[in-house]
Amino acid sequence: MSDKDVRKGLAGVVADYTAVSKVNPDSNSLLYRGYPVQELAASKSFEEVALLLWSGELPTPEELADFETFERANRSLDPMIKAAIDLLPLDCHPMDVGRTAVSVLGAAHPLAEDSSPEAELNKAKSLFAQFPAVVAYDQRRRRSLALVEPRADLDYSANFLWMTFGEEAAPEVVDAFRVSMVLYAEHSFNASTFTARVVTSTLSDLHSAVTAAIGALKGPLHGGANEAVMHTFTEIGIRADESREEAAARAKAWMEEALAAKKKVMGFGHRVYKHGDSRVPTMKGALEKMIAHYNRPEMMGLYDGLEQAMEEAKQIKPNLDYPAGPTYHLMGFDTDMFTPIFIAARITGWTAHIMEQRATNALIRPLSAYNGVDERHVS
Ligand code: COA
Protein backbone atom coordinates (compact mmCIF):
# COMPACT_ATOMS: atom_id res chain seq x y z
CA MET A 1 0.00 0.00 0.00
CA SER A 2 1.47 3.38 -0.96
CA ASP A 3 0.90 6.86 0.45
CA LYS A 4 -1.46 7.69 -2.40
CA ASP A 5 -3.79 4.87 -1.27
CA VAL A 6 -4.29 6.58 2.10
CA ARG A 7 -7.04 9.21 2.03
CA LYS A 8 -6.47 11.06 5.29
CA GLY A 9 -9.79 12.37 6.65
CA LEU A 10 -11.47 10.42 3.80
CA ALA A 11 -11.11 13.68 1.84
CA GLY A 12 -12.49 13.25 -1.65
CA VAL A 13 -13.76 9.73 -0.97
CA VAL A 14 -17.30 8.98 -2.16
CA ALA A 15 -18.47 6.50 0.48
CA ASP A 16 -22.00 5.65 -0.75
CA TYR A 17 -25.08 6.95 -2.53
CA THR A 18 -27.67 9.10 -0.78
CA ALA A 19 -31.03 10.45 -1.92
CA VAL A 20 -31.50 12.62 1.18
CA SER A 21 -29.62 15.73 0.13
CA LYS A 22 -27.26 17.00 -2.54
CA VAL A 23 -24.46 19.44 -1.81
CA ASN A 24 -23.07 21.14 -4.89
CA PRO A 25 -19.95 23.12 -3.98
CA ASP A 26 -19.54 24.55 -7.50
CA SER A 27 -22.92 26.23 -7.50
CA ASN A 28 -22.99 26.70 -3.69
CA SER A 29 -26.30 24.91 -3.59
CA LEU A 30 -27.92 22.48 -1.19
CA LEU A 31 -30.99 20.43 -2.08
CA TYR A 32 -33.09 18.46 0.42
CA ARG A 33 -34.78 15.68 -1.57
CA GLY A 34 -34.43 17.91 -4.65
CA TYR A 35 -35.72 21.17 -3.12
CA PRO A 36 -33.31 24.12 -2.68
CA VAL A 37 -32.89 24.67 1.05
CA GLN A 38 -33.45 28.41 0.78
CA GLU A 39 -36.89 27.79 -0.80
CA LEU A 40 -37.79 25.48 2.09
CA ALA A 41 -36.50 28.04 4.61
CA ALA A 42 -38.62 30.74 2.94
CA SER A 43 -41.96 29.00 3.25
CA LYS A 44 -41.99 25.65 5.03
CA SER A 45 -42.34 24.80 8.70
CA PHE A 46 -39.63 22.71 10.31
CA GLU A 47 -42.22 19.96 10.77
CA GLU A 48 -42.83 19.87 6.98
CA VAL A 49 -39.08 19.75 6.29
CA ALA A 50 -38.65 16.86 8.73
CA LEU A 51 -41.36 14.86 6.95
CA LEU A 52 -39.74 15.68 3.60
CA LEU A 53 -36.35 14.42 4.77
CA TRP A 54 -37.80 11.20 6.17
CA SER A 55 -40.23 10.29 3.38
CA GLY A 56 -38.77 11.99 0.30
CA GLU A 57 -41.89 14.12 -0.34
CA LEU A 58 -43.45 17.20 1.20
CA PRO A 59 -46.46 16.12 3.28
CA THR A 60 -50.08 16.47 2.25
CA PRO A 61 -52.15 18.67 4.62
CA GLU A 62 -53.50 15.48 6.28
CA GLU A 63 -50.03 13.97 6.75
CA LEU A 64 -48.79 17.23 8.23
CA ALA A 65 -51.77 17.50 10.58
CA ASP A 66 -51.23 13.90 11.77
CA PHE A 67 -47.56 14.56 12.47
CA GLU A 68 -48.29 17.83 14.25
CA THR A 69 -50.76 16.01 16.49
CA PHE A 70 -48.16 13.33 17.27
CA GLU A 71 -45.39 15.88 17.85
CA ARG A 72 -47.51 18.04 20.18
CA ALA A 73 -48.56 14.96 22.17
CA ASN A 74 -44.94 13.83 22.71
CA ARG A 75 -43.23 17.05 23.77
CA SER A 76 -43.25 16.73 27.54
CA LEU A 77 -40.02 15.92 29.33
CA ASP A 78 -40.42 12.33 30.51
CA PRO A 79 -39.91 12.20 34.33
CA MET A 80 -37.25 9.51 33.84
CA ILE A 81 -35.29 11.74 31.44
CA LYS A 82 -35.66 14.68 33.81
CA ALA A 83 -34.33 12.54 36.67
CA ALA A 84 -31.36 11.45 34.52
CA ILE A 85 -30.59 15.07 33.57
CA ASP A 86 -30.85 16.17 37.20
CA LEU A 87 -28.11 13.68 38.09
CA LEU A 88 -25.65 15.42 35.75
CA PRO A 89 -23.44 18.23 37.05
CA LEU A 90 -24.53 21.78 36.26
CA ASP A 91 -21.10 22.56 34.88
CA CYS A 92 -20.91 19.68 32.41
CA HIS A 93 -21.23 20.63 28.75
CA PRO A 94 -24.88 20.65 27.58
CA MET A 95 -23.83 18.37 24.71
CA ASP A 96 -23.10 15.74 27.36
CA VAL A 97 -26.65 16.23 28.62
CA GLY A 98 -28.05 15.86 25.10
CA ARG A 99 -25.98 12.75 24.45
CA THR A 100 -27.03 11.19 27.76
CA ALA A 101 -30.70 12.08 27.24
CA VAL A 102 -30.82 10.40 23.82
CA SER A 103 -29.16 7.32 25.27
CA VAL A 104 -31.73 7.14 28.08
CA LEU A 105 -34.60 7.82 25.66
CA GLY A 106 -33.36 4.84 23.63
CA ALA A 107 -33.22 2.58 26.66
CA ALA A 108 -36.82 3.51 27.48
CA HIS A 109 -38.32 3.38 23.98
CA PRO A 110 -40.74 0.45 23.60
CA LEU A 111 -39.52 -0.12 20.01
CA ALA A 112 -35.82 0.22 20.90
CA GLU A 113 -34.79 -3.10 19.36
CA ASP A 114 -37.28 -3.04 16.47
CA SER A 115 -35.54 -1.86 13.30
CA SER A 116 -38.47 -2.26 10.91
CA PRO A 117 -39.03 0.85 8.73
CA GLU A 118 -42.23 1.66 10.66
CA ALA A 119 -40.46 1.44 14.03
CA GLU A 120 -37.50 3.49 12.80
CA LEU A 121 -39.82 6.25 11.60
CA ASN A 122 -41.72 6.18 14.87
CA LYS A 123 -38.46 6.51 16.84
CA ALA A 124 -37.27 9.36 14.59
CA LYS A 125 -40.55 11.23 15.14
CA SER A 126 -40.40 10.61 18.90
CA LEU A 127 -36.85 11.97 19.15
CA PHE A 128 -37.83 15.00 17.08
CA ALA A 129 -40.68 15.73 19.52
CA GLN A 130 -38.81 14.90 22.72
CA PHE A 131 -35.46 16.62 22.25
CA PRO A 132 -36.45 20.33 22.53
CA ALA A 133 -37.58 19.75 26.13
CA VAL A 134 -34.10 18.42 26.93
CA VAL A 135 -32.40 21.58 25.63
CA ALA A 136 -34.97 23.92 27.16
CA TYR A 137 -34.88 22.28 30.58
CA ASP A 138 -31.09 22.08 30.62
CA GLN A 139 -30.73 25.82 30.02
CA ARG A 140 -33.34 26.55 32.69
CA ARG A 141 -31.82 24.30 35.37
CA ARG A 142 -28.44 25.99 34.81
CA ARG A 143 -30.17 29.31 35.55
CA SER A 144 -31.91 27.82 38.63
CA LEU A 145 -35.27 28.04 36.87
CA ALA A 146 -38.06 25.47 36.96
CA LEU A 147 -39.18 23.30 34.06
CA VAL A 148 -41.75 24.92 31.77
CA GLU A 149 -44.40 22.57 30.41
CA PRO A 150 -44.94 22.57 26.63
CA ARG A 151 -47.89 24.30 24.97
CA ALA A 152 -49.90 22.32 22.43
CA ASP A 153 -51.22 25.51 20.80
CA LEU A 154 -47.75 26.50 19.58
CA ASP A 155 -45.81 25.06 16.65
CA TYR A 156 -42.44 23.34 17.12
CA SER A 157 -40.31 26.50 16.96
CA ALA A 158 -42.60 28.70 19.07
CA ASN A 159 -42.92 25.94 21.66
CA PHE A 160 -39.13 25.39 21.79
CA LEU A 161 -38.66 29.07 22.66
CA TRP A 162 -41.59 28.98 25.09
CA MET A 163 -40.18 26.00 27.01
CA THR A 164 -36.73 27.65 27.13
CA PHE A 165 -37.70 31.17 28.18
CA GLY A 166 -41.14 30.73 29.74
CA GLU A 167 -42.62 33.48 27.60
CA GLU A 168 -44.05 33.63 24.10
CA ALA A 169 -41.46 34.80 21.58
CA ALA A 170 -42.26 37.51 19.03
CA PRO A 171 -43.26 36.13 15.60
CA GLU A 172 -40.00 37.44 13.99
CA VAL A 173 -37.95 35.56 16.58
CA VAL A 174 -39.92 32.35 16.06
CA ASP A 175 -39.38 32.69 12.34
CA ALA A 176 -35.61 33.23 12.61
CA PHE A 177 -35.41 30.17 14.85
CA ARG A 178 -37.43 28.12 12.35
CA VAL A 179 -35.09 29.21 9.54
CA SER A 180 -32.06 28.08 11.55
CA MET A 181 -33.65 24.68 12.20
CA VAL A 182 -34.42 24.16 8.51
CA LEU A 183 -30.87 25.14 7.51
CA TYR A 184 -29.24 22.94 10.16
CA ALA A 185 -31.43 19.92 9.40
CA GLU A 186 -29.30 18.08 6.86
CA HIS A 187 -25.98 18.21 5.04
CA SER A 188 -25.10 14.86 3.39
CA PHE A 189 -22.10 12.89 4.68
CA ASN A 190 -20.78 15.34 7.28
CA ALA A 191 -18.85 13.84 10.21
CA SER A 192 -21.81 13.27 12.55
CA THR A 193 -24.09 11.87 9.85
CA PHE A 194 -21.34 9.56 8.68
CA THR A 195 -20.86 8.48 12.30
CA ALA A 196 -24.58 7.65 12.51
CA ARG A 197 -24.30 5.64 9.30
CA VAL A 198 -21.23 3.74 10.54
CA VAL A 199 -23.07 2.74 13.73
CA THR A 200 -26.21 1.78 11.78
CA SER A 201 -24.11 -0.29 9.37
CA THR A 202 -23.33 -2.70 12.21
CA LEU A 203 -27.13 -3.16 12.57
CA SER A 204 -27.10 -1.34 15.88
CA ASP A 205 -30.22 0.61 16.93
CA LEU A 206 -31.32 4.13 15.99
CA HIS A 207 -30.74 5.73 19.41
CA SER A 208 -27.19 4.32 19.55
CA ALA A 209 -26.48 5.84 16.14
CA VAL A 210 -27.86 9.24 17.19
CA THR A 211 -25.96 9.13 20.49
CA ALA A 212 -22.71 8.52 18.60
CA ALA A 213 -23.56 11.28 16.11
CA ILE A 214 -23.98 13.73 19.00
CA GLY A 215 -20.44 12.86 20.13
CA ALA A 216 -19.14 13.72 16.67
CA LEU A 217 -21.16 16.92 16.48
CA LYS A 218 -19.74 18.20 19.76
CA GLY A 219 -16.30 18.88 18.32
CA PRO A 220 -15.36 22.47 17.39
CA LEU A 221 -14.41 21.43 13.84
CA HIS A 222 -18.06 20.43 13.37
CA GLY A 223 -21.12 21.61 15.32
CA GLY A 224 -19.18 23.16 18.17
CA ALA A 225 -18.15 25.96 15.81
CA ASN A 226 -21.36 27.95 16.41
CA GLU A 227 -20.39 28.24 20.09
CA ALA A 228 -16.80 29.06 19.20
CA VAL A 229 -18.03 31.97 17.05
CA MET A 230 -19.69 33.47 20.09
CA HIS A 231 -16.52 32.98 22.15
CA THR A 232 -14.71 34.99 19.46
CA PHE A 233 -17.30 37.78 19.68
CA THR A 234 -16.97 37.75 23.46
CA GLU A 235 -13.18 37.86 23.28
CA ILE A 236 -13.34 40.85 20.94
CA GLY A 237 -15.87 42.37 23.37
CA ILE A 238 -19.60 42.93 22.79
CA ARG A 239 -20.39 46.56 23.58
CA ALA A 240 -24.08 47.29 23.13
CA ASP A 241 -23.49 51.07 23.15
CA GLU A 242 -20.96 50.98 20.30
CA SER A 243 -21.70 51.94 16.68
CA ARG A 244 -21.63 49.37 13.90
CA GLU A 245 -18.51 51.00 12.41
CA GLU A 246 -16.59 51.06 15.69
CA ALA A 247 -17.37 47.40 16.33
CA ALA A 248 -16.35 46.47 12.77
CA ALA A 249 -13.00 48.22 13.16
CA ARG A 250 -12.21 46.38 16.39
CA ALA A 251 -13.28 43.05 14.85
CA LYS A 252 -11.05 43.63 11.80
CA ALA A 253 -8.07 44.37 13.99
CA TRP A 254 -8.74 41.23 16.03
CA MET A 255 -8.94 39.06 12.92
CA GLU A 256 -5.73 40.50 11.45
CA GLU A 257 -3.92 39.69 14.67
CA ALA A 258 -5.44 36.19 14.87
CA LEU A 259 -4.45 35.36 11.30
CA ALA A 260 -0.94 36.77 11.80
CA ALA A 261 -0.67 34.36 14.76
CA LYS A 262 -1.82 31.54 12.40
CA LYS A 263 -4.98 30.90 14.44
CA LYS A 264 -7.90 28.97 12.99
CA VAL A 265 -10.96 31.14 13.39
CA MET A 266 -14.11 29.11 13.94
CA GLY A 267 -17.11 29.78 11.74
CA PHE A 268 -14.98 30.12 8.60
CA GLY A 269 -14.04 27.52 6.03
CA HIS A 270 -15.65 24.26 5.00
CA ARG A 271 -14.45 20.88 3.85
CA VAL A 272 -16.85 20.82 0.89
CA TYR A 273 -17.72 24.45 0.07
CA LYS A 274 -14.66 26.34 -1.03
CA HIS A 275 -16.49 29.34 -2.55
CA GLY A 276 -19.02 29.97 0.22
CA ASP A 277 -21.60 27.98 2.18
CA SER A 278 -24.98 27.77 0.43
CA ARG A 279 -26.83 28.28 3.72
CA VAL A 280 -25.11 31.47 4.85
CA PRO A 281 -27.11 34.09 2.87
CA THR A 282 -30.41 32.78 4.26
CA MET A 283 -29.09 32.57 7.83
CA LYS A 284 -27.46 35.98 7.54
CA GLY A 285 -30.88 37.33 6.52
CA ALA A 286 -32.36 35.85 9.70
CA LEU A 287 -29.53 37.37 11.77
CA GLU A 288 -30.13 40.80 10.21
CA LYS A 289 -33.80 40.57 11.23
CA MET A 290 -32.75 39.74 14.81
CA ILE A 291 -30.25 42.64 14.82
CA ALA A 292 -33.13 44.96 13.84
CA HIS A 293 -35.58 43.33 16.27
CA TYR A 294 -33.25 43.64 19.27
CA ASN A 295 -31.69 46.92 17.98
CA ARG A 296 -28.10 45.65 18.24
CA PRO A 297 -26.28 47.11 15.20
CA GLU A 298 -22.89 46.69 16.86
CA MET A 299 -23.28 42.89 16.60
CA MET A 300 -23.54 43.27 12.83
CA GLY A 301 -20.40 45.41 12.98
CA LEU A 302 -18.50 42.57 14.65
CA TYR A 303 -19.90 40.16 12.06
CA ASP A 304 -18.92 42.34 9.09
CA GLY A 305 -15.51 43.23 10.47
CA LEU A 306 -14.42 39.63 10.93
CA GLU A 307 -15.85 38.53 7.60
CA GLN A 308 -14.17 41.37 5.67
CA ALA A 309 -10.78 40.87 7.29
CA MET A 310 -10.89 37.12 6.61
CA GLU A 311 -11.90 37.75 2.99
CA GLU A 312 -9.10 40.26 2.46
CA ALA A 313 -6.43 38.07 4.07
CA LYS A 314 -7.36 34.52 3.01
CA GLN A 315 -10.54 34.60 0.92
CA ILE A 316 -12.06 32.03 3.29
CA LYS A 317 -15.84 32.36 3.52
CA PRO A 318 -18.11 32.02 6.57
CA ASN A 319 -19.99 28.77 7.16
CA LEU A 320 -23.51 28.39 8.62
CA ASP A 321 -22.23 28.48 12.19
CA TYR A 322 -21.01 32.03 11.69
CA PRO A 323 -24.43 33.76 11.43
CA ALA A 324 -26.17 31.11 13.59
CA GLY A 325 -24.08 31.80 16.71
CA PRO A 326 -24.94 35.50 17.11
CA THR A 327 -28.57 34.81 16.15
CA TYR A 328 -29.00 32.36 19.05
CA HIS A 329 -27.14 34.76 21.36
CA LEU A 330 -29.54 37.60 20.55
CA MET A 331 -32.51 35.29 21.20
CA GLY A 332 -31.18 34.72 24.72
CA PHE A 333 -29.69 31.23 24.51
CA ASP A 334 -26.56 30.57 26.57
CA THR A 335 -23.59 30.00 24.29
CA ASP A 336 -23.07 26.37 25.20
CA MET A 337 -26.69 25.59 24.28
CA PHE A 338 -26.04 26.42 20.60
CA THR A 339 -24.77 22.98 19.62
CA PRO A 340 -27.60 21.17 21.46
CA ILE A 341 -30.01 23.28 19.34
CA PHE A 342 -28.09 21.99 16.32
CA ILE A 343 -28.79 18.42 17.59
CA ALA A 344 -32.52 19.16 17.67
CA ALA A 345 -32.35 20.23 14.02
CA ARG A 346 -29.98 17.52 12.78
CA ILE A 347 -31.97 14.68 14.39
CA THR A 348 -34.04 14.91 11.21
CA GLY A 349 -31.11 14.45 8.80
CA TRP A 350 -29.38 11.84 10.96
CA THR A 351 -32.49 9.69 11.24
CA ALA A 352 -33.23 10.02 7.50
CA HIS A 353 -29.70 8.73 6.83
CA ILE A 354 -30.06 5.97 9.42
CA MET A 355 -33.18 4.74 7.65
CA GLU A 356 -31.48 5.00 4.26
CA GLN A 357 -28.37 3.16 5.50
CA ARG A 358 -30.47 0.36 6.95
CA ALA A 359 -32.46 -0.03 3.75
CA THR A 360 -29.32 -0.42 1.61
CA ASN A 361 -26.85 -1.61 4.21
CA ALA A 362 -23.22 -2.63 3.80
CA LEU A 363 -20.99 -2.74 6.87
CA ILE A 364 -18.73 0.34 6.82
CA ARG A 365 -15.26 -0.92 7.56
CA PRO A 366 -12.33 0.75 5.75
CA LEU A 367 -8.75 -0.48 5.67
CA SER A 368 -5.70 1.09 7.28
CA ALA A 369 -2.06 1.27 6.22
CA TYR A 370 0.11 0.01 9.07
CA ASN A 371 3.03 2.30 9.97
CA GLY A 372 4.02 0.87 13.36
CA VAL A 373 7.09 -1.15 14.30
CA ASP A 374 7.95 -4.27 12.27
CA GLU A 375 6.90 -7.66 13.56
CA ARG A 376 8.74 -8.60 16.75
CA HIS A 377 8.41 -11.35 19.32
CA VAL A 378 8.03 -11.64 23.07
CA SER A 379 11.36 -13.16 24.17
N1 COA B 1 -9.36 30.02 9.96
C2 COA B 1 -8.12 30.23 9.48
N3 COA B 1 -7.59 29.49 8.48
C4 COA B 1 -8.35 28.54 7.95
C5 COA B 1 -9.66 28.27 8.39
C6 COA B 1 -10.16 29.07 9.44
N7 COA B 1 -11.37 28.87 9.91
N8 COA B 1 -10.19 27.26 7.68
C9 COA B 1 -9.25 26.89 6.82
N10 COA B 1 -8.14 27.64 6.99
C11 COA B 1 -6.89 27.54 6.25
C12 COA B 1 -6.08 26.37 6.80
O13 COA B 1 -5.24 26.81 7.85
C14 COA B 1 -5.33 25.94 5.58
O15 COA B 1 -4.27 26.84 5.37
P16 COA B 1 -2.82 26.32 4.89
O17 COA B 1 -3.06 25.71 3.56
O18 COA B 1 -2.00 27.55 4.90
O19 COA B 1 -2.43 25.30 5.92
C20 COA B 1 -6.33 26.14 4.46
O21 COA B 1 -7.21 27.16 4.90
C22 COA B 1 -7.11 24.86 4.12
O23 COA B 1 -7.77 24.45 5.29
P24 COA B 1 -8.01 22.96 5.75
O25 COA B 1 -8.06 22.91 7.25
O26 COA B 1 -7.07 22.03 5.06
O27 COA B 1 -9.43 22.69 5.19
P28 COA B 1 -10.31 21.46 5.55
O29 COA B 1 -11.20 21.24 4.41
O30 COA B 1 -9.56 20.30 6.06
O31 COA B 1 -11.09 22.01 6.84
C32 COA B 1 -12.59 22.94 8.28
C33 COA B 1 -12.35 22.46 6.85
C34 COA B 1 -14.08 23.23 8.44
C35 COA B 1 -12.21 21.85 9.29
C36 COA B 1 -11.75 24.19 8.53
O37 COA B 1 -12.07 25.19 7.59
C38 COA B 1 -11.91 24.71 9.94
O39 COA B 1 -11.27 24.22 10.87
N40 COA B 1 -12.82 25.73 10.15
C41 COA B 1 -13.11 26.22 11.45
C42 COA B 1 -14.10 25.30 12.15
C43 COA B 1 -15.52 25.49 11.68
O44 COA B 1 -15.99 26.59 11.52
N45 COA B 1 -16.21 24.35 11.49
C46 COA B 1 -17.58 24.31 11.08
C47 COA B 1 -17.69 23.71 9.72
S48 COA B 1 -19.36 23.80 9.11
Residue whose Cα lies nearest atom 44 of ligand 1: it is 267
For residues 320 and 189, what is the distance between their CA atoms, to the nearest angstrom? 16
Element (H, E) at 93: none
pLDDT of residue 181: 98
* N-terminal to C-terminal alpha carbon distance within the chain: 30
pLDDT at 272: 87
Residue 190 has, within 13 A of its CA and on its CB side, a CA count of 24
Contacts of 51 (CB under 8 A, 6+ apart): 58, 59, 63, 64, 67
Burial class of residue 324 in the structure, from the number of CB atoms within 10 Å of its CB (0-12 exposed, 13-18 middle, 19+ buried): buried
Tens-binned pLDDT, residue by residue, of the chain (379 aa): 788 889 999 999 999 999 999 998 888 889 999 999 999 999 999 999 999 999 999 999 999 999 999 999 999 999 999 999 999 999 999 999 999 999 999 999 999 999 999 999 999 999 999 999 999 999 999 999 999 999 999 999 999 999 999 999 999 999 999 999 999 999 999 999 999 999 999 999 999 999 999 999 999 888 889 999 999 999 999 999 999 999 999 999 999 999 999 999 999 999 888 889 999 999 999 999 999 999 999 999 999 999 999 999 999 999 999 999 999 999 999 999 999 999 999 999 999 999 999 999 999 999 999 999 999 999 8
Is the C-alpha dihedral spanning 368, 371, 374, 378 positive or negative? negative
Question: Which pTM was predicted?
Answer: 0.95
The active-site residue, picked from 138, 205, 277, 321, is: 321
Question: Ligand 1: which of 255, 315, 316 to mutate, judged by most atoms within 8 Å of the beta carbon?
Answer: 316
Q: CA–CA separation, 300 vs 206, rounded Å? A: 40
User: What is the predicted pLDDT for the residue at 271?
Assistant: 86
Cα–Cα distance between 184 and 276 in angstroms, integer? 16
**Which residues does a 6 A CB cutoff place in the pocket of ligand 1?**
221, 225, 264-271, 314, 316, 319, 321
How many whole angstroms separate alpha carbon 289 and alpha carbon 221? 27
Residue type (1 letter), 158: A
93 given a catalytic annotation = no
